[in-house]
Amino acid sequence: MTSEELARAIEQKEIKDADLSGINVSGLDFSGCRLENVTFCNQQNEDKVIKNSNFKKATFYNVFFDYADIRNCDFDGKETALEKVSFKKCMLYKCRFRKTQINWSDFRYAEIHFGTFEEAFVANSDFYRTFFIGIIIFRKSLFKDCSFYYSYFDEGAIIRRDNLYKGRLLQQKKKQYEKFLRDWQQYGPGVRKNEQEKLSEWDYKNSLKARYNDAEEIYKTLNGLWLSKGFLGDSNWAYVKGKRMERNRMLLELFSHEKVGFFKRLMLSFQILFNLFKDVFFGYGESMRKMILTYILMVFVFAYIYFSATAIDLGDYFMALIISLKNMVAMTPGEVQGVTPFLDFMNMIQTTIGILITGIFGFVLGNKIRNQ
C-alpha cells in the first residue's frame, strides 16, 4: 500500500489486508477506522518510529506493531477495541489505553513506559516478560485471564489487587489456561514465537502441569512488589494466595506419574499437611476469623474431654466449658488437677495450645491494626 492509498483508506475509515511497515504513519489520524489484517511494523524494519498518531475509537483485528517504537499514541476510548493485536518487543512510550477494550493481544517482551491503562478491560492477553517502567496508571482497570509470568513492575507501575478480575490469575483456571496455551494461534495474533523469532520446542501440556508453580511465583512477586510500596493489605492477600498455590504445586508433584522417591513423597506429604494446617486453623497468620474459630474449637474439644472423663463429675457441660476456657489462659481449676495422669496431661496440652494460640492471635491482631 502506498501513502496515497493509505490516505484514501483513512478517509473511508477502513484499512484491510495492508502492509504499512514501509510507510511513515506518524501523526496520522486513524480515529474511527476499522483496521483488519494490517502490519504497521515487523522485524525487518524494527527501528521504525510511530509517534503522535491518533487511534481513538478505532477497531483493530489481527494487527501487528511488532518491534515498533511507539510514542505518544492515543488508543483511548470505550469504542476503541483491540482484538488479536501484537505489540511484541515494542517500546511504548507515553501511550494511552484509557477505557480501551483489549482481547487476545500480545505484549510479550514489550517495554511500556509512562502510560495509562486507566479503566481499561484487558482479557486473554500475554504479558510474558513485559516491562512496566515509570508512572503507569492502572486505576479501575481490569485484567481477566491474562498471563503476568515474569512481568516486571517498576516502582511507579501501580497495579493493585483490584486490577485482577475476581482476584484470580489465568493459571488458576485449568480449561482457560489450556485454551490460552494450546489455541493461541487460533485466538491470538499469529504463531507464538520467542524473542529470537523461533518456534520454541515446548509442549503446552508441560506448561499446563506447571501452572501452579507459575501462579505461585506470580503471587510471591506481587507480594514483594506491594510490600515495598506499602500496600500491606494487598501484600498479605498475595502472600496467602502464594502459599495456597505452593500447596497445590506440591499436591500435583506428589500425585504425578513421574518417578519420585519414597522419602521425597514422604517429605512432600508432611509439607502439604503442615501447609494445610496453617491455612485451615490460622489462615497463614492473616485471618482473624480462622483464629477465633480455632480458639473456640479448642475450648469445645477439651470441654468434651473433661465432661466425658469418668474420674470426675462436673455436673453439666457448661461447667466443662468454664474449666476448658480457664485452661486456655493457664488458670487450671482444682476440679481437674491431680485427678488422673491423663487429665493432667490434657491440662498441660491445652494450656500450651492456649498460650501458643493467644500469642499468634496477638500477632495477627497487631498485623491487622497496622494494615488498616
* Segments making up each domain of the chain, as ranges: 1-189+200-205, 287-371
Query: What count of other Cβ atoms lies within 10 Å of the Cβ of residue 159?
Result: 23
β-bridge partners, 81:
59, 101
* Strands laid side by side in the 131-133 sheet: 49-51, 69-71, 91-93, 111-113, 131-133, 152-153
* C-alpha 255, offset from chain centre: 25
Question: Residue 311 has what pLDDT?
Answer: 67
Mean of all residue pLDDT scores within the chain: 90
- Tell me the pLDDT band of 371, cut-offs 50, 70 and 90: low
Instruction: Work out the average pLDDT over 220-243.
Output: 91
Class of residue 2 by CB neighbours under 10 A (exposed 0-12, middle 13-18, buried 19+): exposed
Question: Residue 126 has what pLDDT?
Answer: 95
**CATH number listed for the domain at residues 287-371:** 1.10.287
Dist. CA 248–CA 37, nearest whole Å: 41
Check pLDDT > 80 for residue 116.
yes
Question: Residue 136 has what pLDDT?
Answer: 94
- Tell me the pLDDT band of 372, cut-offs 50, 70 and 90: low
Check pLDDT > 70 for residue 212.
yes
C-alpha cell recorded at residue 46: 524494527
Those residues whose C-beta lies under 8 Å from the C-beta of residue 5, and which sit 6 or more positions away, are none
Question: Residue 113 has what pLDDT?
Answer: 95
Those residues whose C-beta lies under 8 Å from the C-beta of residue 188, and which sit 6 or more positions away, are 84, 104, 105, 106, 124, 126
Instruction: Work out the average pLDDT over 164-171.
Output: 94
Question: Residue 2 has what pLDDT?
Answer: 86
Q: In terms of pLDDT, which residue wins out, 344 or 19?
A: 19
Dist. CA 153–CA 158, nearest whole Å: 8
Cell 520446542 belongs to which residue? 201
Residue 10 backbone class (left: φ over 0; alpha: ψ -120 to 50; beta: rest): alpha
Dist. CA 82–CA 72, nearest whole Å: 18
What's the pLDDT tens digit per position in 35-90? 999 999 988 888 899 999 999 999 999 999 999 999 999 999 999 999 999 999 99
H helical segments located in the chain: 3-11, 174-182, 184-187, 204-209, 211-229, 232-254, 262-282, 288-308, 317-328, 341-371
Question: Residue 141 has what pLDDT?
Answer: 96
- Tell me the pLDDT band of 271, cut-offs 50, 70 and 90: very high
Contact between 91 and 72 (Cβ < 8 Å): no
β-bridge partners, 136:
157
| Backbone φ, ψ for residue 106 (5° rounding) | -115, 115
**CATH number listed for the domain at residues 1-189+200-205:** 2.160.20
Question: Residue 156 has what pLDDT?
Answer: 85
What's the pLDDT tens digit per position in 312-354? 776 778 888 888 888 888 887 777 777 788 888 888 898 999 9
- Tell me the pLDDT band of 157, cut-offs 50, 70 and 90: confident
Q: Closest Cα to residue 75, out of 20, 122, 15, 111?
A: 122
Check pLDDT > 90 for residue 185.
no
What's the pLDDT tens digit per position in 83-105? 999 999 999 999 999 999 999 99
What is the model's pTM?
0.86
